[in-house]
Amino acid sequence: MRIEVRSVYQRFEAFEALRGIDLVLSERRIGIVGGNGSGKSTFARLLNGLLLPSAGQVLVDGLDTAHEGKAVRRKVGFVFQNPDNQIVMPVVEEDVAFGLRGLKLSRAGREALVESVLDRYGLLSLRAHPAHALSGGQKQLLALAGVLVTEPDCVVFDEPTTLLDLRNARMVARVIDGLAQTAIVVTHDLGLLERFDRVIVFDEGRVVADDLPAPALDFYRRRMQ
Ligand SMILES: Nc1ncnc2c1ncn2[C@@H]1O[C@H](COP(=O)(O)OP(=O)(O)OP(=O)(O)O)[C@@H](O)[C@H]1O
């Protein structure tokens, strides 16, 4: 999996949220940090074509997000900060199956995929439960299950632990750790990134550090003092 971000600018009316980003993302675990409003979420949304750049290009394994959004979104899944924005069906297993709509699968094939992903995230016993009645951590896992059931090569997480208590945050951190897929994680939870391959620091719409976690996080901590 290789994502190329080429001379990307993102404007919202007169405001420039990203000011010239050039990156090649190919590591298995990449963290994105930066102060509030530095452009992290905007950047994350560009990676699977949820947002298209005002200028520049984003290429996912050579596919331009501006022209091949559908194919890009099959390769790159997105997990939102608030799972309530992502859970769309009233019952747990229906919500996971929703991600498979539009794919040509037999009913048995669909059910087998849903069952295996629910099992992997400890949600199998909750399959017939109302999704809204899950705990915060369970909801975050359900949102992730709904993305992973489509078998993307890469998952982008926008602040996956922010709304969770310590126990659930640790559970989600373990799940991210165990993912077979590439993970790109926007977070203020710096501990989550210690064992990552690479950490990129944003400030005012620009990349100001891009390094192994220890030096990048050190730079960020000093900059935020
Ligand atoms: N749709 C939009 N319309 C107008 N301005 C926007 C829009 N989306 C983001 N912005 C602005 O762009 C800037 C960057 O926002 P972004 O959400 O990317 O920051 P962030 O680094 O993720 O911040 P946080 O850590 O607070 O989540 C902010 O000033 C924000 O107000």
- Here the ipTM equals 0.95
Q: Whose CA is nearest to atom 1 of ligand 1?
A: 12
**Ligand 1 contact, 34 CB (< 6 A):** yes
Is the confidence at residue 102, as pLDDT, over 80?
no
Pick from 13, 32, 40 the residue to mutate for probing ligand 1's pocket: most ligand atoms within 8 Å of its CB: 40
Q: Which of 5-14, 43-52, 144-153 has the lowest mean pLDDT?
A: 144-153
For each of the domains in the chain, give its residue range(s) and CATH number, in order of start.
28-50+74-224 (3.40.50.300)
pLDDT at 75 > cutoff 90: yes
Dump pLDDT digits (tens) for 104-152. Answer: 888 899 999 999 999 988 899 999 999 989 988 889 889 999 999 988 9
For range 159-184, the mean pLDDT: 90
Ligand 1 binding pocket mutation candidate from 10, 12, 32 (most atoms within 8 A of CB): 12
40 Cβ closer than 6 Å to some ligand 1 atom? yes
pLDDT of residue 171: 85
Considering the chain, what is the average pLDDT of its residues?
A: 94
pTM of the model: 0.94
**Which 3-state string (H, E, C) describes the chain?**
CCEEEEEEEEEECCEEEEEEEEEEECCCEEEEEECCCCCHHHHHHHCCCCCCCCEEEEEECCEECCCCHHHHHHHEEEECCCHHHCCCCCEHHHHHHHCCCCCCCCHHHHHHHHHHHHHHCCCHHHCCCEHHHCCHHHHHHHHHHHHHCCCCCEEEEECCCCCCCHHHHHHHHHHHHHCCCEEEEECCCHHHHCCCCEEEEEECCEEEEEECHHHHHHHHHHHCC
Q: Which of 42, 54, 78, 186 to mutate to test the pocket of ligand 1 (most atoms within 8 A of CB)?
A: 42
Q: How many angstroms is it from 2 CA to the middle of ligand 1?
A: 25
